[in-house]
Structure 1
Amino acid sequence: MPNNLFNQSISREIKNTTFKTPPRGVPAVIAKEKESYNYWLILHRNFPKTERYGLGRKIDFLFLEILELSFTASYLPIDPKIIMLGKILTRLDILKFFSQLAWENKLIPNDKYIELSERLLEIGRMLGGWRKGLLEKKLPPIK
C-alpha cells in the first residue's frame, strides 16, 4: 500500500511537469546503476527458490525502481529533479537495507556482498553529488 502511494505521488509530479529535451547521453550514474543491476542478476540466480521470490524479488524491484526514477529524473527540470533525486536516494537506502538482510541470512556470500555494497555506495555518492550540484545551481550566490 505505501508503495502505491509513492507511485501516485510521483505520477502527479510527472503530470504537472513540463519535460525538457532528452539529455545527450546516459548520465554516468544510470550507467553505474545498470552495471550494478547486472551484477545483482548474477547473485539473484543463486538464491534458493523460496528466497528468490521473496527477498530477492524485493531487491530486484528496488533496483528497477531506482533505474526508472533516475532515467525519469534525467528529463526533468531542476526543481522536480531535486525532489526526485531525494526519493531515489531514499529508495537506495532501502535497497542497501534489504541487501544487508540477504547477506545476514547467508543468501549473498561475503565477497559478493562487499562488491555489491561498494557499488551501491558509489551510486549513492553519484546521486548525492548530482543533487548537491543542482541545489548549488538553484540557490543564489551568497555575498
Structure 2
Amino acid sequence: MPVFIHLKELYISWHSKFYKFPKTSKFSIGTKIDSLFVYSIEQVSLANITYNIEKLGHIKIALSSIDTLKVFLQIAWELGLVETKHYSELSEKIDVVGKMLGGWYGQTLKQNSPAKAREK
C-alpha cells in the first residue's frame, strides 16, 4: 500500500535525525514526534486490514496524528532542533502522506455511504 510505504520511509528519515537531538529535547518533544510517527504507522496498518466503519476510524485517527505531528515538528524546527533543509523535506513528505490519507478516507467514505449500500 503506497501510503504505508511513504509513511515508513518518512519515519526512517525522521529517525536518523532523532538521535541527534540534545538529551533534554530528545526525551520530550523528540519522543512525542517519534510516538506520533509510530502511532500513525500503526493506524495505517490497522486500516489496511479492517473494513467499513472501522477502517474509517483508523484512517481518521491517522489523519489526526499526522496533523498533530506537523505541529510538533514545526515546534522542533522553531526551537532549532531540526535543520531547515530536513524540516522542509519532512514537511513535504508529511503533506503527501496527509493527502493520500485524505483521499483514502474520502474513497472509503464514499464506498460505505448509504447511497452505495442501496445499490448493492
TM-score for the superposition, normalised by structure 1 = 0.78
Distance, in Å, in 1 between the alignment partners of 2:111 and 2:25 is: 44
For 1:1-143, what aligned pairs fall within 5 Å after superposition?
27-139=1-113, 140=115
Give a deviation string over 1:39-77, Cα, whole Å, max 9, x none.
001111221111111110110011000001110111111
Letter in 1 for 2:68: I
Q: Distance in 2 between matches of 1:83 and 1:61?
A: 19
User: What is the letter of the counterpart of residue 30 of structure 1?
Assistant: F
Partner-residue secondary structure (3-state), 2:49: coil
Q: Secondary structure at the match of 1:54?
A: helix
- The residue type equivalent to 2:22 in the other structure is P
AA in 1 matched with 2:19: R
Kindly report the root-mean-square deviation, in angstroms, between the aligned alpha carbons of the 2 structures. Answer: 1.0
Using the alignment, how far apart are the partners of 2:36 and 2:112 within structure 1?
29
**Match of 1:30, SS?**
helix
CA distance in 2, matches of 1:129, 1:87: 14
Query: What TM-score results when the alignment is normalised by the length of structure 2?
Result: 0.92
Q: Which 5+ residue runs of structure 2 have no aligned equivalent?
A: none
Alpha-carbon shift at residue 30 of structure 1 (Å): 0.6
- 1: CA distance, partners of 2:66 / 2:12: 16
